[in-house]
């Protein structure tokens, strides 16, 4: 095993009560782009996703469908979750399921250890519980129901009635960790992103934390509490531990030390507190290191509400990929919405951006350059011998794009800013071709004009070489096509081995490279399918 700790990225592990929707895919694609970006920096990366399979929500869904919860989870994982991630080219290194023994054994050990250390005690609790959040709510977090729910208190996130639960169960002394957590947030200003998420958590913790009920005794779909098997471990404690159990906690010390803790946990803002309050407190109680960053993404909205399985208006990720293609899908949400902010999806917006930014700006640039090298130089990249100011400006533009994209995507998780930096460069190269008019230069047979023409097309091809590298983490299929069309592999090697931070080094694509027209990167869209 490598001595250097891996760059460790996680998605939330998703509930298997239903198939994945656009919201789940949003966080997963963002995590994938981050993981791929760091791999292309040359780092050793560990990228984890998986499924959260215990708890009342899954149990009730399985019961309603007349199957056991395990059968239900198996079916959903095999038929819906894994296939979608494969379809979207998600490059996870592992897939953890909370019903796997490698997880459940370690969860029991972790909780037993906390019990032995005196961090857990038995107590009673009564309060409003949202099964969709799998969380007890405070009275201030509820809203008044209207219409069919008039007179009832609703969860503000799910807009569904809460239930009053009264149980005797085990409690983790979370209230003792408030000051330590606040000190950690103060010492690590980047621990929670974005700023608005950080402020929300800090304010919440400042108000004082209650101890956390970590077991349930009214149903049994969960990991048994080791010292009192009448109880199962609270599904959130079980779930959060996946980030440790999947990388060898208490099992493979070498792997654990080479991976844990996560550098970034990507989560939706709905589950921020679990990750930024409860999870770090659990780790502190156990003397384990805390993650580097909790990055909260905003919500994809429909009609002013968080997109969920009940208000999806029937659009599945596959409906969009079959129309726009997988790469455009991976690009769209990260391009259109500032990461951390809420955003909504519309066919019109996706179509307009696809046509102008992907097909016209990027796709046309690639096909024009390949066509001209074919026409004027028989498809063999010529030598650039007549560099001038215009070429210098392109080289400078590329350096800027690489620096910006590397910082924004790789460090700041500003996917939109990073994508824009690359696409601004694409625009700059298009502008360069428009100004240099190689199709006119080609009409002049003089040696000087031939040298200019060669230089212009080399500059454009070299720019595309860099764009293929920079966009590979985001749009791997398109980058593969472009890499092929540029004939880059024989001289430069595999695309995945190209370092993003070295993408601005100029003159990499050698003269003589075989440029072919290749597949169209972004085909014209068919008519929008009717529902």
Residue 267 makes contact with ligand MSP by CB under 6 A: yes
- For 120, the token pair is 């857990």
Q: How far is the CB of 271 from ligand MSP (least distance, A)?
A: 4
Asked if 26 touches ligand MSP (CB under 6 A), the answer is: yes
CA dist 24 → 51, 79, 84, 297 (Å): 11, 16, 11, 11
Scanning residues 47 to 76, which ones bind ligand MSP (CB under 6 A)? 52
Question: Catalytic site residues?
Answer: 21, 24, 130, 133, 155, 158, 306, 309
Q: Which of 111, 307, 398, 461 binds ligand MSP (CB under 6 A)?
A: 307
Q: How far is CA 492 from the centre of its chain?
A: 29
Query: Any idea how long the chain is?
Result: 531
Give the x/- contact pattern for ligand MSP in 240-259, rule: CB under 6 A. Answer: x-x-----------------
Residue nearest to ligand MSP (CB): 23
Q: Does 271 bind ligand MSP (CB under 6 A)?
A: yes
Helices 476-485 and 326-336, interaxial angle, to 10°? 120
Beta strands (DSSP E) in 36-157 are 45-52, 94-97, 120-130, 135-136, 142-144, 153-155
| DSSP letter string, 408-425 | IIIIS--HHHHHHHHHHH
Give yes or no for residue 24 binding ligand MSP (CB under 6 A).
yes
Least Å from the CB of residue 395 to ligand MSP: 39
Kindly state the tokens that stand for 304.
């002013």
Does 13 contact ligand MSP by CB under 6 A? Answer: yes
Is 12 one of the binding residues for ligand MSP (CB under 6 A)? yes
Residue in the structure block whose two tokens are 């460790």: 8
The H-or-E segment that residue 485 falls in is: helix 476-485
Verify binding: residue 382, ligand MSP, rule CB under 6 A: no
How many alpha carbons fall within 13 Å on the CB side of residue 392?
Answer: 3
Q: Distance between CA atoms of 11 and 47, rounded to whole angstroms?
A: 8
Among 69, 222, 261, 268, which residue sits at the site for ligand MSP (rule: CB under 6 A)? 268
The whole-angstrom separation of Cα 76 and Cα 319 is 19
Measured from the CB atom, the residue of 56 and 463 that comes closer to ligand MSP is 56
Residues in Cβ contact with 69 at an 8 Å cutoff, skipping those fewer than 6 apart: 53, 54, 58, 59, 62, 221
Q: Is 133 annotated as a binding residue?
A: yes
CB neighbour list of residue 483: distance below 8 Å, 6 or more residues apart: 468, 489, 495
**Residues 205, 181 contacting (CB under 8 angstroms):** yes
How is residue 51 written in tokens?
Answer: 């499924």
* Cα distance between residue 89 and residue 324, in whole Å: 15
Among 46, 47, 177, 299, binds ligand MSP (CB under 6 A): 299
Smallest separation (angstroms) from ligand MSP to the CB of 27:
3
Tell me: does residue 239 bind ligand MSP (CB under 6 A): yes
According to the binding rule CB under 6 A, does residue 277 interact with ligand MSP? no
β partners of residue 45: 7
Supply the minimum distance, in Å, between the C-beta of residue 310 and ligand MSP.
11
Quote the least distance from Cβ 263 to ligand MSP, whole Å: 16
Give yes or no for residue 23 binding ligand MSP (CB under 6 A): yes
Which one-letter DSSP state was computed for residue 148? G
If you ran DSSP here, which 8-state letter would residue 330 be given? Answer: H
Q: List the Cα angle 240/244/250 in 5-degree steps.
A: 130
293 binds ligand MSP (CB under 6 A): no
Between residues 82 and 368, which has the closer beta carbon with respect to ligand MSP? 82
Among 7, 8, 9, 27, binds ligand MSP (CB under 6 A): 27
The closest of 171, 137, 167, 177 to 155, measured between CA atoms, is: 137
Is 155 assigned a ligand-binding role in the annotation? yes
Taking contact as CB under 6 A, which single stretch among the options 20-28, 447-455, 493-501, 513-521 is the one that binds ligand MSP?
A: 20-28
Is the Cβ–Cβ distance between 345 and 201 less than 8 Å?
no
Nearer to ligand MSP, 271 or 470 (CB): 271
Contact between 306 and ligand MSP by CB under 6 A: the answer reads yes
What would the x/- binding string for ligand MSP be over residues 396 to 435, using CB under 6 A?
----------------------------------------
How many residues touch ligand MSP under the rule CB under 6 A: the total is 21
Both structure tokens of 50? 């998986």
Of the ranges 105-113, 142-150, 202-210, 266-274, which one interacts with ligand MSP (CB under 6 A)?
A: 266-274
CB of 225 vs ligand MSP, minimal distance in Å = 19
Residues within the annotated binding site? 130, 133, 155, 158
Residues of this chain that interact with ligand MSP (CB under 6 A) are 12-15, 23-24, 26-27, 52, 239-240, 242, 267-268, 270-271, 297, 299-300, 306-307
């Amino acid at each position: 095993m490598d001595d250097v700790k891996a760059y460790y990225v996680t998605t939330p592990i998703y509930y298997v009560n239903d198939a994945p929707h656009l919201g789940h895919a949003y966080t997963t694609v963002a995590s994938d782009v981050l993981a791929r970006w760091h791999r292309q920096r040359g780092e050793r990366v560990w990228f984890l996703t998986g499924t959260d399979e215990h708890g009342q929500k899954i149990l009730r869904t399985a019961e309603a469908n007349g199957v056991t919860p395990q059968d239900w989870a198996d079916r959903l994982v095999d038929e819906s979750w894994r296939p979608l991630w494969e379809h979207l080219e998600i490059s996870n290194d592992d897939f953890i399921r909370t019903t796997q023994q490698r997880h459940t054994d370690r969860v029991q050990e972790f909780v037993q250890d906390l019990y032995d250390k005196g961090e857990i005690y038995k107590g009673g609790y009564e309060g409003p519980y949202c099964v969709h959040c799998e969380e007890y709510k405070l009275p201030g977090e509820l809203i008044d129901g209207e219409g069919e729910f008039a007179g009832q208190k609703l969860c503000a996130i799910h807009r569904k009635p809460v239930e009053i639960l009264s149980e005797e169960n085990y409690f983790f002394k979370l209230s003792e960790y408030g000051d330590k957590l606040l000190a950690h947030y103060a010492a690590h200003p980047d621990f929670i992103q974005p700023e608005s998420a950080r402020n929300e958590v800090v304010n919440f913790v400042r108000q004082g934390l209650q101890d956390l009920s970590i077991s349930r005794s009214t149903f049994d779909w969960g990991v048994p509490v080791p010292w009192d098997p009448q109880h199962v471990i609270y599904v959130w404690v079980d779930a959060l531990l996946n980030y440790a159990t999947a990388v060898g906690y208490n099992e493979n010390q070498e792997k654990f030390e080479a991976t844990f803790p996560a550098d970034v946990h990507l989560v939706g803002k709905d589950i921020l507190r679990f990750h930024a309050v409860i999870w770090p407190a659990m780790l502190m109680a156990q003397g384990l290191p805390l993650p580097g960053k909790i990055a909260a993404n905003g919500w994809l909205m429909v009609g002013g509400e968080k997109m969920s399985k009940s208000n999806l208006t029937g659009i599945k990720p596959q409906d969009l990929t079959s129309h726009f293609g997988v790469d455009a899908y991976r690009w769209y949400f990260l391009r259109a919405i500032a990461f951390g902010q809420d955003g909504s999806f519309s066919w019109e917006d996706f179509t307009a951006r696809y046509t102008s930014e992907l097909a016209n700006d990027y796709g046309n640039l690639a096909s024009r350059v390949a066509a001209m090298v074919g026409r004027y130089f028989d498809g063999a990249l010529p030598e650039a011998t007549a560099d001038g100011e215009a070429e210098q400006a392109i080289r400078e533009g590329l350096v800027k794009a690489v620096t910006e994209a590397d910082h924004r995507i790789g460090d700041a998780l500003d996917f939109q800013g990073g994508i824009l930096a690359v696409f601004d460069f694409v625009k700059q190269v298009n502008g360069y071709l428009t100004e240099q008019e190689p199709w006119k230069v080609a009409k002049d047979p003089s040696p000087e004009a031939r040298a200019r023409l060669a230089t212009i097309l080399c500059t454009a091809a070299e720019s595309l070489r860099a764009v293929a590298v920079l966009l590979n983490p985001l749009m791997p299929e398109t980058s593969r096509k472009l890499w092929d069309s540029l004939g880059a592999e024989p001289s430069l090697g595999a695309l995945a081995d190209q370092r993003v931070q070295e993408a601005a080094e100029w003159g990499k694509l050698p003269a003589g490279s075989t440029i072919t027209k290749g597949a169209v990167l972004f085909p014209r869209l068919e008519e929008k399918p009717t529902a």
